[in-house]
Amino acid sequence: MTAVEAQWSPVQHLILGEDPQLRIYAEVSVWFKKIELFRKGEDERMFLQEPTPEDLAVHKTLLQRLLADGDHLLSLIQQMGLPENIEGIQSEDVAAAVEALRDTYRGWHEPIPAERREQMLREVFPDVVHPDYKEFRRMKRKQEWPKLRQ
């Protein structure tokens, strides 16, 4: 250890802890558990029933927090690394989870215009009759799916 490192050591230990990589791994594990709980709540409140304005507001707030935490964890992983672990979690897994949360945010809280959505659905699924969005969500709750065009 150099003289400079020795001078910084108490501050570094206070900020980063005894084993920074282990701490990051622990935080990542907890974050993934939070996502799992969020997804269960999302299924119950956003898909299995018609979400209320309050559901949408809470959903948005929780997503924003999960995204902020995920971005922070990715930054820490870039700086300190993520140790090999029993769960096999890698930095790519964290990045993919953040991207999936961003997609969810865009899907619920930055919807594309109805005309563009219909155009995309017709291009991707030309043989399916496409209900409007509210009708689709009703169908999903009741497990009724669009019919193929005859």
The per-residue pLDDT for 146 is: 56
The span from the CA of 112 to the CA of 61, in Å, is 20
Tens-place pLDDT, residues 102-146: 999 999 999 888 888 888 888 888 777 666 666 666 666 666 655
pTM: 0.74
Alpha helices in the chain (DSSP H): 3-16, 20-42, 53-80, 91-109, 114-124, 133-142
Tens-place pLDDT, residues 48-73: 999 999 999 999 999 999 999 999 99
For the chain, give every domain's residue range: 3-111, 112-150
The span from the CA of 21 to the CA of 135, in Å, is 48
